[in-house]
Every structure is written in C-alpha cells, then in structure tokens.
Amino acid sequence: MNFIRMLWHALTSIKNAIGNIVFLLILLVVLFAIFSSETIDIGDNTALVLNPRGAVVEQKSLANPLNELVNGDFTSETLFRDILLAISTAKSDKQISALVLDLSNLSSITMGHLEEIGNALEDFKASNKPVLAFAPSYSQAQYLIASYSDRIVLDENSFEPFGGVFLTGFSVDPLYYKTALDMLKIDVRVFAAGDYKDAAEPYTLDGMSDYSKEANEAWLNTLWEGYKSIVTTQRNISDESFHRYTNRYNELLAEAGNDPSLLSLNEGYADELLSKSEWQEEMIDIVGRSGRSFRQIEFADYLRVTQPSIQAPSPTRDKIAVITASGTILDGEQPSGLIGGDSLSSLIQQARWDENIKGVVLRINSPGGSAAASEKIRRELALVQQDGKPVVVSMSSYAASGGYWISSTANKIFALESTITGSIGTFVLFPTFEQALAEIGIHTDGVGTTNLSGALNPFKSPSQPIEDTLKRSVERTYNRFVSLVADGRDMDLTDVEEIAKGRVWAGKTALELGLVDAIGGLDDAISSAADLSNISGYEVIFLEKELSTREKLITEILNVSVNIFAKTYPSRGIIDTLIPRELLDFASMSKAPGLYMHCFQCQVR
C-alpha cells in the first residue's frame, strides 16, 4: 500500500511539474511576442485589410484557452462589432485609401451579420475609396460580403474541390433520433404548445413534420430571396442567371472545362483571374509598396492603433447602455457566449441604477432556452422601463422563442430583414429509462405516500397526475407568452394566436405581422433609444460582466499564446461533428423537467 501511495504522489508531482513547464514556455512565448513586436504605424495611402478569422460572434465565448491549446482546437472568434468599427473608422481616415477583403479564413457567420457588414461596406463606398477582394475561392457566406466589392479577383492558380464562387442555398437539416432512442429503449415524453413548435421533433420523429416543413420553407425562402437580391443587385446579374448558376452548377461547370474559377468569371461573379503575385503588383500600383507586398494594415492592428485600449466613460455625460445577450438562455450565472438569467439581470440592474444611463439597448442573438430565465430577464427590463428609461431591442441573426419572450415588451424592436424570430411556443421534454434498464435486468419498484411520490424518477414512467401537471404548465406558459406579446405589441390576443403556434418568421415578414417595429441594425436601435430618452450628445457604453484583474491577465496571456500556436498549427476540433448540438441540448434539458422556449431548427446551413 505504501508503494502505491508513493507512486501516486510521484505521478502527481510529475504532472504538476509538466504543467509548470508548459506554463513557463507559454509565458516565454508571450513575452517574446510582446517585446519583439514592431511598432504599428499607419502610413499615408494605406490599404485596410479586413480579414476576420474563424466565427464572427456578437460576444466572444469565455473558453479556457489552455484547454484549447492542449486539445488542439484553435477555433478563432472575431467580434462582430470590431468589424463594423474598423469599417466606419476607416471611412473618414485620410490615411486609409482602400479596403481589401481577405475572407479566406472566415469559417462561420450568420446571415444577420452578413447583412449588417454589407450595409457598412455600402456606407464605406460613399467615401469614394475602393473596396477590393481577392481569394482562392468564395463560400456562400464569404461571397455575400465580397459582392459589395468594386472588383472581385479569383486566384487563377487555385485548385480547390469547390473553387470559384460556390453557392449552395440555405437549408435546415436537423438530425432525428427517434429510432435510435427506440433501439435504446429510452422513452421521451414531449409536452408542447404550438402546432409549429418543432423543437422536440428530433427526439419524437424520424423526419420533419409537415407543419415544420411548411414553416421552415417559408422563412428559408425569404432569407434566400434576400441573399439573391443583394448579389444580383451588387453584381448586376439577372434573376434568371442567378437561378441557372445555383441550380445547374454542374452542367455549367462542364461547359467551362471543369474550371470553377473560369465559370465564376464567365457568369459575372468575378471580374478577373490573377495569380497572387499579379494581384499584389496591382495593389502596389494602387497604394504603393511596403516590403515585399503592398502597403497595408490588418483590421485588428488598425483598431489597436486607432482605438484607445482603455475607454474611460465620462462620469457625468448622458449615456445609452448596450447590453449584449448572445447564446442559449440558461438559468443562473453563465459565462460570456451564453445568456444567464442571473448574470444578464445583474447587468440590466446596473443600467437601471446608473443615473447617467438614460436608455438601454438590448442586442439579442439567441434561439431561446429556459422559460424561467427568459421571464427573469424580461422583468428586469420592465423595471428599467418603469423607472422612465426606454428599452430598445436590436435583434441580430436570431431572436426566437425565449429570445422573443425577452424582447416582447420593449418600447421598440428593431430587426434585420434576415433576423429569425417568432417561435412563440413552449415545451417540456421528459425522458425515462425504465425500459432501457429492464433490457439489462435492472428494475425499479417501491412505495410512496402520495400519487406524486417519485414523480421525477427518470427510471419509471410518469404517472397520470404528473403528465396532467406538465401539460397544464406548458399551456399556462404558452398563454402567458401570447399575452405578453399582445400587451407588448398592442395587438389582440386572437391576432397573436394566429401568428404564434411556435412558428418561425424572417425579420422582413415579422415587420409585416407587427412582431417588430422597424428594420434596422444596432446603430438604428441606439439612435432610437436616444430619441426616446430625449437626449443628444450622448455616449454609448457596452455593459459587460467584469472579470477580475487576475482573470483578465491570465486569459490575455493564454489567448495570445493560443493565437500564436493557432496560426502555426491551424487544426480544428471535431467535437461539434461527433456530438451534434441537438444531443448536447437534449442532455442539458433532460437533467430535470423544465419549461423551454427554444428554436433548434433556426440554425441555417
């Protein structure tokens, strides 16, 4: 026994020593990167390179960077508002003479973000500065941004399986687990309100219901029409040509000699095919040379130079507070990248108690989640309104189900044309495992004092009283949801009932139905909050959960280290592929019966 204890202590010491060595190596790399970095200088006639990496997000996830380093999952995130800030700043910056789009490392972005970035680029072009794009190929998302360019160039030496401009259209393709759950003898009871509330379908069906297909096709077609409208307008392409390109791609590719870049050029989706060196020479002619390439600055470096690292708000100036609510809505305290009922409520309280904050803009990007957390957040917003401060909602890509519950009673709601919203419905999942255990010879039995004794035992089927209770709870929550929408939107209950039923709508349609007040982005919502507050000359602040000094230091050190390693070893994790989001959500919702307002099928592919 003493030998085993000594061996265990030795292994623990070795593990701690290795951990310390790894941390010291990381620290040395960071210090080297800091002290060896050159001073960034913006010269005259410089091109701003907009090169977002990884996923574009409203709010960066508070992940453990050391875990990312150890696991080799260097999935980057680019803050959405940093992109807009760089574009708007460069518009009036006399040292910036051109904007270059390098979208090759952009892996994930929503339609809502694409819409707002496109609007920002359109505004930038009013400065008469050129917007230019070069890439080996363009995915569908990348191309929507590139379409705003004055000139799109494809690398003529690119050999990618889906090269050129590859447009696939939009789809919703959830996985369905009913047969698998049946084979595992897992019984999933679903209690739902709303004919179109399809969040639980993956666990009860093997395919999409007719109701779900009808609703999903409607909003998907609206989004696709919006995409088509932008591309055909920006590139001066006819609707017929667009339809032919996106539906007969393989035939057109054969006619172009199997060269996707040449096909894109012939069909008007690109302006020229050049090698990378030829492209750089053209850019040198436009902005001049710096080293071996053209004079340029990446947008992240540009923001470090042009924006103060610490922005101290004026203690006496009127303010509009922007609070970001991004991710699934969950109970309690949650980190950045998720919406916690307690954590977001505390930020709203902070805005309510600050006398210099005259209005609140809630920037929401969420498919929903916990009903209890959603109502807690909405009540806090209502208290802000009771104190005489307007609440304006700015819907980003998603504000569905619980996300719409939070928004429903705001003074004004802005959505994008491509925002996915609505999904007014609720459900409860109640899985039980008695049959699964019986398959391996395990059974449960016992006695209780009432009809509800053992009601939440996952190893026995729910009794009739508990089923009745869950049904009534779902019905009550749904009726409350409809009532909130009717009161907040000044609509009749019958009118809300007609457009509710768990159905999802695109922002453009939501405006027609009265679920939102106007089409617009974050800046429009901020201006509206200021108007409703009757203030001018105000300051905009972003309220976020404060990290301790120690947390900031450690996170920054590790983030810098991970970024260095990520650029050197750009591997990607496969957890999201192996464990689909639906299964993770199912596991989360199955811990205990709870009321949920969630739109799982709002994720567009």
Catalytic residue numbers? Answer: 197, 401
Place of tokens 């061996």: 7
Helix axes 111-124, 210-235, angle to 10 degrees: 20
Contact of 45 with 287, CB cutoff 8 Å:
yes
Beta bridge partners of 357: 319
Cα–Cα dist 425/368, whole Å:
11
Cα–Cα dist 8/13, whole Å:
9
Pick the closest to residue 261 from 161, 144, 156 (CA basis): 156
Contact of 274 with 20, CB cutoff 8 Å:
no
Pairing assessment for the beta strands 596-598 and 368-370 based on DSSP bridges = antiparallel
Cα–Cα dist 568/151, whole Å:
31
Residue type, 370: S
Strand ranges inside 458-595, DSSP E: 504-506, 518-519, 539-543
Cα–Cα dist 368/47, whole Å:
40
Cα–Cα dist 591/605, whole Å:
29
Cα–Cα dist 504/510, whole Å:
9
Pick the closest to residue 426 from 386, 388, 507, 372 (CA basis): 372
Cα–Cα dist 532/275, whole Å:
53
Pairing assessment for the beta strands 293-294 and 187-193 based on DSSP bridges = unpaired
Contact of 386 with 417, CB cutoff 8 Å:
no
User: How many CB atoms are located within 10 Å of the residue 81 CB?
Assistant: 16
